[in-house]
Amino acid sequence: MPKGPKGEKRHADTVQNAMLIGRIATGEVEDTPSKAPNRAKGGAVGGKARAGALSPERRSEIGKKAAQKRWES
């Protein structure tokens, strides 16, 4: 089953997708909200935790490697 831009499941067939929208509108099926806000929050927390766990030398090494890759292209 294809996924939308925010990871939600979508029917590959246009008719199936239209039927799903109709079922959501009539209340037969419950519309599920996207999980994207939770993922964004988790990513921000993970980045801070990673930055706190790295030593200044390791952070510098990672930064130099990233800068070198940017200049290569």
Number of folded domains that form the chain: 2
Kindly state whether residues 44 and 29 are assigned to the same domain.
no
Kindly state whether residues 29 and 43 are assigned to the same domain.
no
Kindly state whether residues 24 and 47 are assigned to the same domain.
no
How far apart are the C-alpha atoms of 63 and 9, rounded to whole Å? 37
Kindly state whether residues 27 and 44 are assigned to the same domain.
no
* pTM of the model as a whole: 0.39
Domain encompassing residue 69: 36-73
Kindly state whether residues 7 and 17 are assigned to the same domain.
yes
Distances (CA, A) of 68 to 24, 55, 65, 71: 50, 20, 5, 5
Helices in 1-73 by DSSP H: which ranges? 14-26, 36-53, 56-72
Kindly state whether residues 11 and 22 are assigned to the same domain.
yes
Kindly state whether residues 69 and 51 are assigned to the same domain.
yes
Q: What is the pLDDT of residues 16-59, one digit of tens each?
A: 888 888 888 898 888 776 666 677 777 778 888 888 899 999 99
Residues in the chain: 73
